[in-house]
């Protein structure tokens, strides 16, 4: 059975090939044309591509919406002097279910 050194020596006999000289130019031409064709806009900050940041931003936006909603209802109570039931009130209300 052939040993590892023999095999490595045979493998090293495999010919080395080089690409044609114009390959780089062809690639550049096609790549730049394709980017233009697809109207790719470069330069989007990496932070916007990161799902962790996107999640954090979405959570922060939701929190601000909730705070704004609750603050709006509270203001309505003050203005109209009428109690406005909010989701928060419903959750915190103690119901006597024995009735």
Q: Collapsing DSSP states into helix, strand and coil, what is residue 50? A: coil
Q: Is 49 in the site for another protein (CB under 8 A)?
A: yes
Q: Is 2 in the site for another protein (CB under 8 A)?
A: yes
* Closer by beta carbon to another protein, 18 or else 92: 18
Q: Report in angstroms the alpha-carbon separations of 77 from 48, 73, 83, 85.
A: 39, 6, 5, 9
Residue ranges that bind another protein, judged by CB under 8 A: 1-2, 4, 6-11, 13-20, 23-24, 26-28, 30-32, 34-35, 38, 40, 42-44, 46, 49-50
């Amino acid at each position: 059975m052939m040993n590892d050194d023999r095999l490595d020596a045979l493998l090293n006999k495999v010919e080395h090939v080089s690409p044609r000289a114009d390959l780089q130019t062809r690639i550049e031409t096609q790549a730049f044309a394709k980017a233009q064709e697809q109207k790719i806009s470069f330069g989007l900050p990496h932070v916007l591509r990161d799902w962790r940041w996107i999640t954090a931003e979405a959570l922060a936006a939701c929190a601000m919406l909730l705070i704004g909603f609750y603050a709006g209802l509270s203001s309505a109570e003050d203005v109209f002097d009428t109690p406005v039931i909010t989701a928060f009130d419903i959750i915190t209300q103690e119901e006597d279910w024995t009735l």
